[in-house]
A and B are shown apart, each in its own frame.
Chain A
């Protein structure tokens, strides 16, 4: 053991500064990574974050206000929960409102490949928010979570658009009543 330590001493350039005080808690690898990711977020004018507890950067919400496409005029709030195993594990993201969207179910689950099967530690939070933003520009009918919405979109795009408008205003589509999410 002592041998190894002396190797370490050689390896080290002398850091002159003295240490003092009790050792304190270390910033975790997950916090560190989220901090980096946050500084690289490009939110643009359509997105903003909200940190209910600013000291806790692992839990926050993201608001998206699409400025084009059929969801324009809506304000969509996603809840981000990041665990200490980030970036090995992907962030857990859910839509907090009940909305009419082929790729988001009524419980708020989001079908976005990089949130699940295609997540890799090299991906960052920006990739996730870009993916979310894209879902509102191009809802994908071929791999739906909300089957009714997908069928609707496939069958009649104009009709679907109307239903989206209805739902954004808090109206009914089929048997379901949706949350009012207009700005």
Chain B
């Protein structure tokens, strides 16, 4: 043991407990989770919201609050895991909160047993929460008020249905919700710039391929494939008036050229580095174009004109767009995939990429600092944020959050710019838009069937007289579908139209069969989906649903649509 470095500090207790998730969202994601305070406004049987919270308490969300005025009933015990027999007759908010807290001593849990109506009368009541989850059913004017709050204070709002075998949730995110750390598939992220090499890379490749044909077999078999491709590209360009392979045909010809240059008299019968070079031709010989999403980002008014008070994201985006305008490429990400090479050569190659990436970051940082001064920003954007942006520039995602539909009796749904796309998909076999429409009709029914004029929850369709309710809700659903088709100005063939109506009718029927019940499995599954989306939104990592997800537990299918 004498040759070993001194003993290390092992992982902390917290790192041990959260090990399996830290490998996904890292310490920064975990910190964001721990700094959040989630409010659950629980209604109906109240299972899906609690199943969501369960999956947030376990990974260590900072705080949660349950707002629920229901009294625990016998029926709750058959569907809700976070209640026990002795709680019957007690506050559902209190008891579910206590049993959830048991899951993780690191989490603070609170409860409010007040009805939503009175809770919302205090204008400051929503202030402490960084994210709000509402489980249906809820009166539309209250949902509308929450939606206004979400818009006004940029707080993400989730609205969930879980009814029988079906579920749905919509997310209302701020109008500009950027994600830098999207965790793209590592296979798609390497950007080697073979068609736009910089002088240091050219020089490195030339050194490593010097007198390639006469190299000793061992050396020849260890030239990194990046250098091989640059070497053969140079030769190709000479005979193609300075142009690299342009199209598929030329690329395959170039690939053959590389393939045929490998030595075949080696003991293994081939050369791995050449195999790697051949395999990389088609995917690496593309000009480094940013994706259309990134180009659009650069054209965004918020990016074009950075105003006082602009967020760090837009300031960096502007600086990166300047970089792009100047060079025609994004800053270099700087990572190099593993490849057959001697250790020292590979490390050297890595450093060639890394130092170029660092230079690019430095240049972007200078622009950022200039912008900060010009808009008189009081604090400097952290270097690591600029670095992360540059590293992920090609995969950055900007979600344009928007309010979801809040059904109001007598008012038709406005589909706006989404009408065309949704109407087109309405008649697709696999589309779950008809189910979404059934949910909208379900909500509309509840609105128009208040049990009394007081604050009691509205009547659930299908709770007693299923057939009559089915007829009514189906009628509402057909009208919503017709309005959508009309608004989109779409023309739909008669046969497709009647097929779509059959689907809508069946969805309504199955939805009402439940009579407002939650099935535990569907609630648990939906709680899994919603908690996952909450984590993405809170950590600002991965790519969240934009903006509506529908689950069909009969067919076991999901569908994501933007409404």
Contacts and interface: CB of A to CB of B under 8 A. Distances in A.
Do A and B pair up? The answer is: yes
Interface of A: 113, 138-143, 154
Given A138-B267, A141-B218, A142-B217, 10 more contacts: A113-B268, A140-B266, A140-B267, A142-B221, A142-B222, A142-B266, A142-B267, A143-B221, A154-B216, A154-B218
A140 B222 CA distance: 13
Interface string B253-270: 000000000000011100
B82 to A, nearest CB: 33
Nearest to B217: A142
Q: Please name the 7 residue pairs, one residue from A and one from B, whose CB atoms are nearest each other, closest first.
A: A140-B267, A138-B267, A142-B218, A142-B221, A140-B268, A154-B218, A141-B218
Interface of B: 216-218, 221-222, 266-268
10 contacts: A140-B267, A140-B268, A141-B267, A142-B221, A142-B222, A142-B266, A142-B267, A142-B268, A143-B268, A154-B216
A139 B218 contact: no
A91 to B, nearest CB: 20
Nearest to A150: B218
Nearest to A135: B267
Contacts of A142: 217-218, 221-222, 266-268
A121 B216 CA distance: 35
A143 B217 CA distance: 11
Nearest to B272: A143
B329 to A, nearest CB: 34
A36 B225 CA distance: 40
A113 to B, nearest CB: 8
Contacts of B268: 113, 140, 142-143
Nearest to B268: A140
A113 B270 CA distance: 13
A142 B217 CA distance: 8
Nearest to A144: B218
A138 B265 CA distance: 11
A83 B202 CA distance: 49
A143 B218 CA distance: 8
Contacts of A140: 266-268
Contacts of B218: 141-142, 154
Contacts of B217: 142
A143 B222 CA distance: 9
A140 B271 CA distance: 12
A143 B273 CA distance: 12
The residue among B222, B266, B267 with the most chain A CB atoms within 10 A of its own CB is B267
Contacts of B221: 142-143
Contacts of A143: 221, 268
The residue among A141, A143, A154 with the most chain B CB atoms within 10 A of its own CB is A143
A149 B12 CA distance: 44
Contacts of B267: 138-142
A161 B221 CA distance: 23
A143 to B, nearest CB: 8
A113 B269 CA distance: 13
Contacts of B216: 154
Contacts of A113: 268
A150 B268 CA distance: 14
Nearest to B220: A142
B59 to A, nearest CB: 32
A149 B526 CA distance: 60
Nearest to A140: B267
A95 B266 CA distance: 24
A167 B76 CA distance: 78
Contacts of B222: 142
A1 to B, nearest CB: 18
Nearest to A138: B267
B406 to A, nearest CB: 44
Contacts of A138: 267
